[in-house]
């Protein structure tokens, strides 16, 4: 099994996958101590032009895909990446990081992406399930996991590395076929959520110093002056991380950044006394002070003003979360995909302050979740449904219509 390292071969692979009914891909990269990971391997698999995706799933599972392992350290893989970006059906497993890396390196999006991990979560196979576990369960394989943390930048790659990389894409078409058969109409939901993952990856790849503050956690309850300091410190961190090609956390962890914004030390010595300060930030303490002094004490216009929910909204949120578990059990859809705690808290707060009509823009009512979860939340809040204790239910509770 050899790596593809010739530009003409890459062009040929790109041409072949552009005609395939389905293509799958995976990436291997090295991300340790880097802001932008080094792309080390591109694996692609595709089905022949003769394959009809509407055929019975077993017929597709029986097809042997073409597989190629392409070496981006030896040749330009842009033609291959662009062919993937243009394809209407690209299968990958948990591809958020891969999509972000391709967007950063090549400026490409991939609107045809379908995530097999999401497919599994929508049909009750398992939430955030690994590829090896999924392949072993659905296809009776014995996929290994021992190469997950190998160094993919070293050449030559070992035979065991090549076998592992091959398996990462070889079985994706069959997994897609099996899962699509189980999902039926729910495939539309998978497509919608796969596009959401793509959107998150593209947003992460397009972060600028001016927008970096939007990804900082822990800003809740900071006053206007502290929020303004977060904005300038996040911009400083982003520029330094790009300059040094180091992860953001190695420059300044979120927790430390927020603490510096809260205390706003006026001299380098004050910066250096901050607990958890990284060596990089310690050597640039004067830059941090200079950044803080430029902060304008006004709240970023894009950030919503946080305010405490009422007691009843807080109680509602807990009940809405309990309902999520019931719906998850009944539908087989992973609870994380239905709603998070933040979703439930926001829904409860909006209904409490503005009424159910304003909540129509929220995910529970504005996406595929409406018929699955939103109508149940609405029914409970309107008193049409009751949440009762039931020792025989998996989580000890059940929803019933009220008389």
pLDDT tens per residue across span 24-60: 999 999 999 999 999 999 999 999 999 999 889 999 9
Neighbours of 242 (CB within 10 A): 16
pLDDT tens per residue across span 173-230: 999 999 999 999 999 999 999 999 999 999 999 999 999 999 998 887 889 899 999 9
Which residue is listed with tokens 């800003």?
Answer: 219
pLDDT tens per residue across span 120-136: 999 999 999 999 999 99
DSSP three-state, residue 386? strand
Phi and psi at residue 234, in whole multiples of 5°? -65, -40
- Give the separation between CA 27 and CA 39, rounded to whole angstroms: 7
DSSP string, 31-74: -TT-SSPEEEEEEEEE--TT--TTS-HHHHHH---EEEEE-TTT
Tell me whether the omega of the peptide bond preceding residue 352 falls within 30 degrees of 0, making it cis. Answer: no
- Give the separation between CA 160 and CA 403, rounded to whole angstroms: 64
Contact 26, 168 (CB under 8 A): yes
pLDDT band at 298 (very low <50, low <70, confident <90, very high): low
**pLDDT of 72 above 60:** yes
CA atoms within 13 A on the CB side of 99: 27
Tell me whether the omega of the peptide bond preceding residue 156 falls within 30 degrees of 0, making it cis. Answer: yes
Q: Which pLDDT score, from 0 to 100, does residue 403 have?
A: 73
Pairing assessment for the beta strands 38-46 and 66-70 based on DSSP bridges: antiparallel
Q: Which two tokens stand for residue 256?
A: 């430390």
DSSP three-state, residue 130? coil
Picking from 398, 376, 389, the residue whose alpha carbon sits closest to that of residue 329 is 398
DSSP three-state, residue 211? coil
Rounded mean pLDDT of the chain?
94
Phi and psi at residue 113, in whole multiples of 5°? -70, 140
Q: Which pLDDT score, from 0 to 100, does residue 218 have?
A: 86
**What is the edge-to-edge ordering of all strands in the sheet holding 23-30?**
66-70, 38-46, 23-30, 90-92, 113-115
pLDDT tens per residue across span 339-368: 999 999 999 999 999 999 999 999 999 999
**pLDDT of 145 above 70:** yes
Phi and psi at residue 35, in whole multiples of 5°? -75, -45
């Amino acid at each position: 099994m050899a790596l593809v390292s010739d530009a003409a071969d890459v062009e040929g692979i790109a041409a072949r996958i552009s005609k395939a009914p389905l293509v799958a891909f995976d990436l291997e990269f090295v991300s340790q101590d880097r802001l932008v990971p080094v792309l080390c391997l591109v694996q692609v698999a595709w089905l022949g032009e003769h394959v009809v995706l509407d055929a019975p799933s077993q017929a597709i599972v029986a097809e042997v895909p073409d597989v190629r392992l392409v070496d981006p350290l030896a040749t330009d893989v842009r033609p291959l990446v662009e062919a993937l970006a243009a394809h209407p059906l690209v299968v990958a497993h948990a591809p958020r990081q891969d999509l972000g890396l391709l967007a950063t390196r090549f400026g490409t999006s991939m609107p045809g992406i379908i995530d097999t991990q999401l497919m599994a979560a929508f049909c009750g196979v398992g939430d955030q399930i690994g590829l090896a576990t999924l392949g072993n369960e659905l296809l009776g394989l014995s996929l290994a996991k021992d190469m997950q943390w190998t160094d993919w930048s070293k050449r030559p790659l070992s035979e065991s590395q090549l076998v592992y990389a091959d398996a990462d894409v070889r079985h994706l078409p069959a997994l897609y076929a099996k899962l699509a058969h189980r999902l039926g109409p729910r495939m539309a939901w998978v497509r919608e959520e796969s596009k959401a993952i793509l959107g998150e990856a593209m947003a992460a790849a397009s972060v600028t110093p001016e927008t970096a503050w939007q990804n900082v956690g822990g800003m809740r309850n900071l006053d206007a002056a502290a929020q303004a300091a977060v904005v300038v410190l996040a911009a400083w961190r982003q520029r330094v991380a790009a300059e040094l090609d180091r992860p953001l956390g190695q420059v300044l962890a979120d927790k430390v950044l927020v603490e510096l914004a809260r205390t706003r030390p006026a001299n380098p010595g004050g910066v250096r006394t901050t607990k958890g300060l990284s060596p990089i930030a310690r050597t640039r303490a004067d830059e941090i002070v200079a950044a803080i002094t430029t902060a304008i004490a006004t709240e970023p216009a894009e950030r919503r003003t946080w305010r405490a929910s009422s007691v009843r909204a807080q109680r509602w949120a807990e009940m809405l979360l309990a309902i999520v578990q019931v719906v998850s059990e009944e539908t087989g859809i992973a609870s994380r995909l239905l709603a998070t705690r933040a979703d439930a808290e926001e829904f409860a707060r909006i209904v409490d302050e503005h009424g159910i009509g304003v909540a129509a823009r929220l995910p529970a009512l504005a996406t595929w979740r409406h018929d699955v979860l939103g109508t149940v939340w609405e029914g409970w809040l309107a008193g049409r449904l009751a949440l009762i204790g039931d020792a025989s239910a998996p989580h000890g509770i059940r929803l019933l219509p009220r008389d």
